[in-house]
Chains A and B, each alone.
Chain A
């Protein structure tokens, strides 16, 4: 196979929060090569000052997401063969997050929004109580299960145009987490979740563009989770008005 002889034209974004530009590198193609392999090869063989972030290399930790040819992807599990355009690759830091250096973004705003969306457990019992049995088939558990494989990689957040045009918007990952907590039978404060996702940056800003669901590397469906939040918050809106009247 002549595949091993091929030299790829790779553009990597270099810079910091203030300014930057794409730098070009020639990288030899190899069989079963991932985007993360390409970035690591450049750092090891051509430019040791290149900064990027990764940890597990097997799609578990959610730290290596980058923009690859304009699309947010987990780089450790993206094969070069699948995304190579002509002979070119363009790797850039994730969209919608401030750049720290080169391919490394500051993910604080992403995680702060998880907390703002009330995506945390509100216990119904203490450690002294017996563990409540939850049927895996119960409707709420099925809905909650749909979102629990999220690895916080921020691919959906980078794919979302609503995040890009409205910095207050909580974004798909945080809202999907809120929907999971809302459907958890062991969560005691569902109203706190609904209140948290009903403000100015809440789920009602979503335009159902579906880029989150289209690009989620774990095949999760944040768009449908957000639709669920819209549905239950709308129902609770009617109920509360009735209760007040």
Chain B
């Protein structure tokens, strides 16, 4: 259970940023290893890429893109909060603008595919 003193929006933003960062750090060595197969064992890379076409793996890939998106927008939010002397209202507006833009562009890309 989440401790009572943590039940507020900024703490959830923090834990999302930490867990997505940790997830990406665990994934990255695997990503690097698979790509380096192109040099050493191209056939294995191809069979991996075929395997990656399975729906379950596709879903996991969506999860990775989601982690990356969450971490980069969470990070930009943090940088704005720390380095730009904005008022809290301006920050909320800016965050919703970015979120809106992201939603729009994702929809666009999904349409395009």
A and B, direct touch (CB closer than 8 Å): yes
A98 contacts chain B at the CB level, 8 A cutoff: no
List A residues 194-233 near B (Cβ within 8 Å): 207-211, 213-215, 223, 227-228, 230-231
How many of A's residues come within 8 Å of B, CB to CB?
Answer: 21
B31 contacts chain A at the CB level, 8 A cutoff: no
Residues on A with C-beta less than 8 A from B18 are 207
B contact patch SS: helix
A168 contacts chain B at the CB level, 8 A cutoff: no
List B residues 64-93 near A (Cβ within 8 Å): 78, 81-83, 85
**CB–CB B10/A70 < 8 A:** no
Q: Which of these, A208, A211, A231, contacts B6 with CB under 8 Å?
A: A211
Residues on A with C-beta less than 8 A from B9 are 210
Residues on B with C-beta less than 8 A from A209 are 6, 10-11, 14
**CB–CB A208/B78 < 8 A:** yes
**CB–CB A71/B4 < 8 A:** yes
**CB–CB A211/B8 < 8 A:** yes
Residues of B near any A CB (own CB < 8 A): 3-6, 8-11, 13-14, 18, 78, 81-83, 85
Residues of A near any B CB (own CB < 8 A): 69-72, 95, 159, 161, 207-211, 213-215, 223, 227-228, 230-231, 234
